[in-house]
């Protein structure tokens, strides 16, 4: 097991606190809900005291609102703190960054909505504990961190970048698909015979699955896990992926700032990572506190996703007691502009969800707006008169006659360069 050895040596050097924390998590997942809450409370208090001591931004903020983390008595005290947006994180990043002298810091950059990126430095424990959380999720599906894996990549690489990437991939026992032409798909699929899991954007996994099915490629794989990240996993993807690769896509939910928020278990429930994250649902939106983010405290951060948590008494059959995230409904997106009113882009999600619930019709879509009051709706499936009628009914429920729709069927939605967008607008 050369790859196990490489993993263990690499981890020891780069992420020394990973394995001990992994062992802790495997014990912790057996805890009762009350025990988990107690752990969370203690961790939160420590974390906020640390933030007050070493982050200029939070020291000032706590002073201004008269908040003293040392006197906290319950988890609910967290709600006394204001909710912070990505733009605020970007604007105040220098003051938020901790002044504590960490042994090791890792640079991290994520894109912002206004074009300016969010840059931060993450301490070793943050990075390692987050990886350990991911590997705990893998363990629920019988996957080891060093197992051979195939990765769906969505960006064009230069030749130089590819060579560098391939070297890094070797260390992680990983190969990836760079192009989405038939030759690449066939080559990728051949390699899957000796692969334990595949992962990437769910829309890309879906696109490749469709092609695998169209080409009639041999699907006798023995994959233990197909993991979708960074994107909503639409129910319509699952049949195609199941047919092509023999398993459904499971969800890992999180972001660079938040860390892993939830991971799907064998029973199909997305369990919250209570050891590392506090997730609140505020007006339907995800608000997250990352308990590992000591070097750049992320506290009550509005992630920009609409979510739905399961009721408190919901029990998953897998036996774990961490609460369950029922659904990630979609991004808090841009506005759809009507002739009179504006609508959240999530409205399309409801239109197409109703289409499934009320009429048992599944359509994949992409909405494009260039002019107020007009929408071009691209549908992947071919035209069908009855389905078309149902679609018009559902559209009318939400938009009335405020928007004129042009609907085109048999459209290719995915450019295979990054995430799949369900709403594209030049307005707003």
Chain contacts with Zn ion (rule: CB under 5 A): 265, 267, 269, 316, 318
CA atoms of 363 and 298, how far apart (whole Å): 37
Cα angle for residues 408, 415, 391 (degrees, 5° grid): 25
Two structure tokens written together for 252: 């890992």
- Of all helices (H) and strands (E), which one includes residue 343? strand 342-344
**Quick one: 276 or 323, whose CB is closer to Zn ion?**
323
**Quick one: 250 or 346, whose CB is closer to Zn ion?**
250
**Quick one: 161 or 267, whose CB is closer to Zn ion?**
267
Which long-range CB contacts under 8 A does 396-403 form with residues at least 24 apart? 397/351, 397/354, 398/343, 398/347, 398/350, 398/351, 399/338, 399/343, 399/347, 402/338, 402/339, 402/340, 402/341, 402/373, 403/336, 403/338, 403/339, 403/373, 403/374, 403/375
CA distance to 70, 185, 231, 305, 413, per residue, from 330 (Å): 37, 29, 8, 6, 18
How many other β-carbons are positioned within 10 Å of the β-carbon of residue 217? 16
**Quick one: 319 or 400, whose CB is closer to Zn ion?**
319
Two structure tokens written together for 146: 């060093």
**Contacts of residue 27, Cβ cutoff 8 Å, sequence gap at least 6:** none
Given a contact cutoff of 8 angstroms between Cβ atoms, the answer to whether 345 and 422 are in contact is: yes
**Quick one: 11 or 269, whose CB is closer to Zn ion?**
269
CB of 362 to Zn ion, least distance (A): 26
**Quick one: 140 or 175, whose CB is closer to Zn ion?**
140
CB of 185 to Zn ion, least distance (A): 33
CB of 265 to Zn ion, least distance (A): 3
- Of all helices (H) and strands (E), which one includes residue 379? strand 374-379
Residue closest to 138 by CA, chosen among 263, 33, 25, 313: 263
CB of 272 to Zn ion, least distance (A): 11
CB of 252 to Zn ion, least distance (A): 14
CB of 22 to Zn ion, least distance (A): 19
Given a contact cutoff of 8 angstroms between Cβ atoms, the answer to whether 406 and 392 are in contact is: no
Cα-Cα-Cα-Cα dihedral of 5, 11, 13, 16, to 10°? -130
CB of 29 to Zn ion, least distance (A): 10
CB of 140 to Zn ion, least distance (A): 8
**Quick one: 265 or 416, whose CB is closer to Zn ion?**
265
How many other β-carbons are positioned within 10 Å of the β-carbon of residue 283? 8
**Quick one: 284 or 319, whose CB is closer to Zn ion?**
319
**Quick one: 54 or 263, whose CB is closer to Zn ion?**
263
CA atoms of 186 and 44, how far apart (whole Å): 49
CB of 276 to Zn ion, least distance (A): 17
CB of 341 to Zn ion, least distance (A): 41
**Quick one: 256 or 318, whose CB is closer to Zn ion?**
318
Categorise residue 140: left if φ over 0, alpha if ψ from -120 to 50, beta otherwise. alpha
């Amino acid at each position: 097991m050369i790859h196990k050895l490489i993993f263990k040596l690499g981890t020891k050097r780069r992420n020394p606190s990973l394995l001990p924390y992994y062992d802790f998590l495997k014990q912790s997942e057996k805890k009762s809900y009350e025990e988990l809450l107690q752990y969370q409370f203690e961790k939160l208090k420590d974390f906020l005291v640390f933030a007050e001591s070493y982050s200029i931004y939070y020291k000032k903020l706590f002073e201004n609102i008269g908040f003293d983390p040392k006197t906290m008595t319950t988890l609910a005290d967290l709600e006394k703190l204001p909710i912070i947006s990505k733009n605020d994180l970007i604007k105040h990043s220098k003051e938020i960054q901790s002044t504590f002298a960490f042994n090791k810091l890792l640079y991290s950059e994520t894109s912002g909505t206004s074009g300016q990126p969010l840059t931060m430095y993450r301490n070793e424990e943050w990075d390692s504990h987050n990886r350990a959380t991911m590997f705990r999720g893998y363990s629920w599906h019988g996957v080891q961190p060093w197992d051979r894996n195939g990765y769906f990549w969505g960006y064009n690489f230069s030749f130089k970048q590819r060579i560098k990437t391939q070297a890094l991939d070797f260390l992680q026992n990983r190969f990836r698909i760079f192009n989405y032409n038939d030759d690449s798909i066939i080559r990728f699929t051949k390699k899957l015979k000796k692969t334990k899991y595949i992962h990437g954007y769910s829309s890309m996994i879906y696109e490749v699955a469709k092609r695998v099915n169209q080409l009639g490629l041999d699907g006798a794989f023995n994959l233990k896990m197909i993991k979708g990240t960074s994107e909503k996993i639409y129910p319509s993807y699952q049949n195609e992926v199941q047919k092509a690769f023999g398993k459904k896509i499971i969800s890992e939910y999180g972001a660079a700032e938040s860390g892993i928020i939830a991971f799907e278990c064998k029973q199909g429930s997305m369990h919250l990572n209570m050891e590392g994250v506090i997730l609140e649902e505020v007006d339907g939106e995800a608000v997250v506190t990352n308990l590992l983010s000591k070097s750049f405290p992320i506290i009550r951060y509005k992630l920009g996703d609409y979510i739905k948590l399961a009721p408190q008494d919901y029990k998953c059959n897998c036996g774990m007691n961490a609460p369950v995230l029922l659904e990630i409904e979609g991004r808090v997106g841009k506005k759809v502009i009507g002739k009179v009113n504006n609508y959240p882009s999530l409205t399309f999600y409801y239109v197409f969800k109703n289409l499934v619930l009320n009429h048992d019709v599944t359509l994949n879509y992409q909405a494009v707006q260039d002019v107020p009051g007009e929408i071009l709706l691209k549908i992947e499936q071919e035209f069908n008169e009855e389905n078309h009628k149902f679609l018009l009914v559902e559209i009318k429920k939400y938009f009335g006659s405020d928007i004129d729709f042009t609907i085109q069927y048999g459209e290719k939605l995915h450019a295979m360069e990054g995430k799949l967008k369900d709403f594209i607008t030049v307005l707003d």
